[in-house]
Every structure is written in C-alpha cells, then in structure tokens.
C-alpha cells in the first residue's frame, strides 16, 4: 500500500493545537469560491492513501480479481462493479415498494453497509469527519503513534448529483437504471463528483453523508520524470494536478491561510490534508466532539 506524507507533498499542514484546527476548518470553509462546496473525510491514520474500498479490495485480493480480469475484460473496476450490482439486485436490493433505485443508489446502499464499492465516504459536516478521525483508537497492527487526518475536498455545487432518474420513466432512458452512475462517471473523468443519497437512512442523515465518485487516477510509469508525476495525490480519484493548484489558487498557502487575516477574495483550494498529531487526538475528542455531541450516545455515526 502506498502511503503519503501530506506535509512534504505540499497538500497538507500539521496543526499544533485544537485552536489551529478549528481556525483552519473555518478558513477553508469561508474562503471557498462561490458555488463550491467543501466536503470532509476523517481518517485515524494520516498516511493512508485516499482510495475507495473497491480499489483496496482489488489490491488486497489480486488472485480473485485476476480471475475476474481474465473473464470480464481489462476495465477491472467497472466490471467488478457491474457484477456487484447484478448480485445485489438478485438479492432484492434496490426494489423498494415499486420505486426505481438506480445503480448509483444501489452502490450507495452497499457502501453504507460495508460492501466494497468505488464510492468514497465524505460528509458536509467537518465535526462528523473529526469524529471518524479521532474517536477510534488504532486497530490491532496499526501504529498507535501515527497522526490522524482531516481531508477537505472542494467540489462544484452544480455537479452534486442525486441518485434518482430524471423526469419520465426508466424505459425512456438509453441506459435505464445505470443512467445516474454513467452520468457521474462521465463527469468524474476530470474531477470528483459529489453525490447526494436519494434515500438516506437515519445514520446517513446524522452523518450528513455524501459520496465522492470519480475515475481512478492514472499512475505514472516507473522511472517517469518528476513533471510526469504531478498527478493528483489522491490515487483513488482524478481530481487536480499540482500545476492546476499552482495556477488556479493564486492565493495563500495553508499556513498563510491559517496565520494571516482571511483573504479579501475567495481562494480556490481544491484539496487540503489537515494532519492532527496523535498527542492532540484526545483533546479533540474532549473539547470538540463532546461540545458537538458527536458520541455513540448523541449520534448515529457507528461504523463506516
């Protein structure tokens, strides 16, 4: 598994206090470009790559998916996804009192209940993301001294898709129940697309849950020159390149954004990794999460 040092990559900032954490969250939110929406993802190990659960499954079980590749063609992620959707529908998932659940909604249901899909869990609530980053101790075999992280993604509001079909009937669409998934994949070829659950359950609502979807980012070949490796640091999703950040931001670094007065003009920061030192995790839990009642008692944030 490839790990990432967010600070040295230029995409991250290691905070030194809870005050810095909350100020940076506020600045990222308030300085965003009009029409953008910031969504958040928290992880308990900052070095983990950002990738979907299906990508991890393909990587961790190569023998199983190698057979699938031989049988179903080269687009392994898409073929594995199609097989998963077919199996889910055979089990009756997606049939709800005559309502049409699109393929995208089926994937969302599977993802929410722990089945590997290409969807990446995010939330519109930064405190919920902090709950996932800080409320759980490292699992067995993980480094209990490793920092946690809060990831911020800037998404275009107009690309936020629901999971329902457009007006009319499914039979009128060229690709039927696959319509919304194909639309999201097409839009996600250049940047991640934000997806809103069409039928959120109580836990999704409590988490302010959303999903990011996109095409897998291309990987530079071994031995490639540095300028060929300026692809997004997000292996699981095409998002932005370093060049795009440098050319489009025209604004302060994360450290400058934190330490100086807020800029007078909106700043486009497409992605940011806020590294939370392990020594601060307990304080985040005691000060921030308790204040906002992000606990097992006060929230439905159990499992992801």
Residue range 161-192, pLDDT digits in tens:
676 666 655 555 556 677 778 777 776 666 67
More confident residue, 170 or 62: 62
* Dihedrals phi, psi of 9, to nearest 5 degrees: -70, -20
Which residues in 236-295 belong to E strands, given as ranges?
Answer: 271-276
**Mean pLDDT for all residues in the chain:** 75
Total residues belonging to the chain: 304
How do 99-100 and 36-43 pair as beta strands? unpaired
Residue 38 in any domain: the answer is: yes
Domain total in the chain? 1
Q: What average pLDDT does this structure show over 193-208?
A: 82
Position 41 scores a pLDDT of 95
- Closest by CA to 152, choosing from 21, 16, 270, 304, is 270
More confident residue, 14 or 10: 14
Residue 261 in any domain: the answer is: yes
Residues 6+ apart with CB under 8 A from 202: 300
* Confidence band, pLDDT 50/70/90 cuts, at residue 241: very low
Residue 304 in any domain: the answer is: no
Q: What digits encode the pLDDT tens for the residues 120-166? A: 999 999 999 999 999 876 666 666 778 999 999 888 765 566 766 66
**Residue written as token pair 């790990």:** 3
How do 209-213 and 193-195 pair as beta strands? antiparallel
Q: Which long-range contacts (CB under 8 A, 24 or more apart) does 167-173 make?
A: 170/100
Q: What average pLDDT does this structure show over 105-116?
A: 86
Position 89 scores a pLDDT of 86
Residue 303 in any domain: the answer is: no
Position 39 scores a pLDDT of 93
The CA-atom distances, in angstroms, between 223 and each of 79, 228, 231 are 30, 10, 15
Residue 296 in any domain: the answer is: no
Residue 144 in any domain: the answer is: yes
Taking the C-alpha atoms of residue 269 and residue 4, their distance in angstroms, rounded to an integer, is 19
Residue 301 in any domain: the answer is: no
pTM of the model: 0.80
Q: What digits encode the pLDDT tens for the residues 79-106? A: 888 888 888 888 888 776 556 678 888 8
* Confidence band, pLDDT 50/70/90 cuts, at residue 265: confident
Full domain range(s) for residue 257: 6-291
């Amino acid at each position: 598994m490839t790990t990432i040092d967010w600070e040295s990559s230029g995409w991250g900032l290691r905070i030194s206090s809870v005050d810095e954490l909350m100020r940076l969250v506020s600045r990222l939110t308030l300085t965003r470009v009009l029409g953008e929406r910031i969504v958040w993802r928290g992880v308990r190990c900052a070095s983990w790559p950002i990738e979907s659960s299906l990508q991890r499954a393909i990587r961790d079980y190569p023998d199983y998916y190698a057979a699938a590749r031989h049988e179903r063609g080269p687009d392994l992620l898409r073929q594995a996804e199609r097989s998963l959707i077919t199996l889910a529908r055979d089990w009756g998932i997606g049939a709800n009192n005559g309502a049409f659940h699109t393929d995208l909604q089926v994937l969302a249901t599977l993802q929410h209940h722990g089945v590997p899909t290409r969807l990446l869990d995010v939330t519109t609530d930064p405190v919920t993301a902090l709950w996932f980053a800080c409320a759980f101790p490292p699992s067995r075999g993980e480094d209990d001294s490793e920092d946690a992280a809060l990831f911020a993604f800037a998404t275009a509001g107009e690309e936020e898709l629901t999971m329902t079909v457009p007006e009319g009937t499914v039979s009128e669409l060229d690709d039927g129940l696959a319509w919304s998934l194909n639309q999201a994949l097409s839009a996600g070829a250049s940047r991640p697309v934000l997806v809103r659950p069409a039928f959120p359950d109580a836990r999704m609502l409590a988490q302010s849950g959303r999903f990011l979807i996109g095409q897998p980012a291309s990987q530079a070949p071994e031995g490639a020159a540095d300028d060929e490796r300026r692809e997004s640091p997000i292996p699981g999703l095409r998002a932005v390149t370093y060049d795009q950040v440098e050319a489009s931001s025209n604004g302060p670094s994360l450290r400058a954004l934190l330490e100086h007065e807020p800029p007078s003009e909106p700043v486009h920061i497409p992605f940011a990794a806020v590294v939370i030192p392990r020594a601060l995790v307990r304080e985040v839990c005691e000060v921030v999460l308790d204040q906002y009642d992000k606990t097992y008692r006060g929230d439905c944030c159990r499992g992801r």
